[in-house]
Amino acid sequence: MGGLVLIAVGGNALIRAGQKGTAQEQFQNAVDTAGVVVRLIDAGYRVVLTHGNGPQVGAALVRSELAAAHAYRMPLDCCVASTQGEIGYVLQYALWQALQAEGLRTPVVSLVTQVLVDKNDPAFARPTKPIGPFYTKDEANRYRDLFNWDIVEDSSRGFRRVVASPEPRGIVELEAIRACVDRGLVVIAGGGGGVPVFNDHDITKGVEAVIDKDHTSAILASQLGADFFAIDTDEEMVCLDYRRPSQRKLPLLTVEECRRYIAEGQFPEGSMGPKIRAAMVFLGRGGGEAVITDSEHLMDAVAGRGGTHIIR
């Protein structure tokens, strides 16, 4: 056994269904992810972790608005960067403790990661990604006028800000990440899909957008030459006819089957769709094997005994 595994930690890993998302809950939940990583390291693997940050960014934006009369507002790009540090610390702490408990001295590091996007990406003309809290109509109109936000209405819950979700084009800190991996460190990087940046030499403002974390993870995995790209979700396997009486687990998928099932609507947005496409990106860039599974079965999946394996 051995090789490099990049694990894209799912959004449910630190804040689970029914939880408030307190710091204590997140520390406790990080123990499960740390346990999987320790088992992989003990088996001779090198590990890179990426992670989502949706709930944490939402909370950061709420705190920014509530404290606006007393402290400066945090733009979205700064909130993404700060949650990379916040979540990186939680995972890093859990890993440090778990590694010590097993007598392993593998160093762990978290890196704030910038991801290059194209300012001409069509996504900037059609913002669709909801972020932050829901607002009343009057609040939404005020923010639209004050900050030039794009606002959409949710018929049952109010109004919400939407931002662009451009495609990731490159990872600015790639060489730093690679250097850490080559030295044997566990690296936590690419949090929340990365902080989006333009390479236009304008340092007066950041890019307020959201990048799909699984897409960024796929690019990072391919550029690092990972042997396995493991997407950690809340299901043991990918399923057809999900949550229907005819639901069927899929232990193996080819890229062509993925394309067909996406066209049939089997893997919708906001669910399995982005994960399937990320696996296809990894394989399309020459990656070896992609696996989609939950934390409980991740170790077995890497060993070929569980999860959904996606191959060329």
192 in catalytic set: no
pLDDT at residue 187 is higher than 60: yes
120 in catalytic set: no
Active-site entry in 275, 287, 306, 307: 275
Is residue 26 in some structural domain?
Answer: yes
Q: What is the pTM of this model?
A: 0.94
Supply the CATH number for residue 25's domain.
3.40.1160.10
191 in catalytic set: no
Is residue 160 in some structural domain?
Answer: no
Active-site entry in 3, 129, 158, 273: 129
Is residue 14 in some structural domain?
Answer: yes
Q: Average pLDDT over the chain, rounded to whole?
A: 94
Overall average pLDDT of the 279-297 stretch: 94
Is residue 303 in some structural domain?
Answer: yes
Overall average pLDDT of the 283-297 stretch: 93
Is residue 127 in some structural domain?
Answer: no
Tens of pLDDT, residue by residue over 57-111, are 999 999 998 999 999 999 999 999 999 999 999 999 999 999 999 999 999 999 9
20 in catalytic set: no
Handedness of CA 188, 194, 199, 200 (dihedral sign): negative
Q: Which residue has the tokens 């593998």?
A: 106
Is residue 131 in some structural domain?
Answer: no
pLDDT-based confidence at residue 1 (cuts at 50, 70, 90)? low
pLDDT at residue 223 is higher than 90: yes
Is residue 215 in some structural domain?
Answer: yes
pLDDT at residue 2 is higher than 80: no
Overall average pLDDT of the 280-309 stretch: 94
Active-site entry in 29, 53, 206, 213: 213
Question: In 3D, which of 20, 54, 16, 55 has the Cα closest to residue 33?
Answer: 16
pLDDT-based confidence at residue 17 (cuts at 50, 70, 90)? confident
Active-site entry in 10, 11, 52, 287: 11
**Beta-strand pair 3-9/45-51:** parallel
pLDDT at residue 234 is higher than 90: no
Tell me, what's the pLDDT at 99? 97
Tell me, what's the pLDDT at 158? 93
pLDDT at residue 28 is higher than 90: yes
Tell me, what's the pLDDT at 267? 95
pLDDT-based confidence at residue 155 (cuts at 50, 70, 90)? confident
CA distance 84 to 306: 30
pLDDT-based confidence at residue 205 (cuts at 50, 70, 90)? confident
pLDDT at residue 288 is higher than 90: no
Evaluate whether 229 touches 279 at the Cβ level (below 8 Å). yes
% of the chain exceeding 70 in pLDDT? 100
pLDDT-based confidence at residue 216 (cuts at 50, 70, 90)? very high
Question: In 3D, which of 50, 17, 52, 9 has the Cα closest to residue 33?
Answer: 9
Range of the domain at 283: 3-116+174-311
Overall average pLDDT of the 296-308 stretch: 92
Question: How many structural domains is the chain composed of?
Answer: 1
% of the chain exceeding 90 in pLDDT? 84
129 in catalytic set: yes
Is residue 166 in some structural domain?
Answer: no
Question: In 3D, which of 50, 78, 67, 43 has the Cα closest to residue 186?
Answer: 50
* Helices of type H across 47-136: 54-66, 76-101
From the centroid of its chain, how far is CA 136? 29
E strands, 194-260, where? 195-197, 228-233, 238-240, 248-250, 252-254
Evaluate whether 177 touches 111 at the Cβ level (below 8 Å). yes
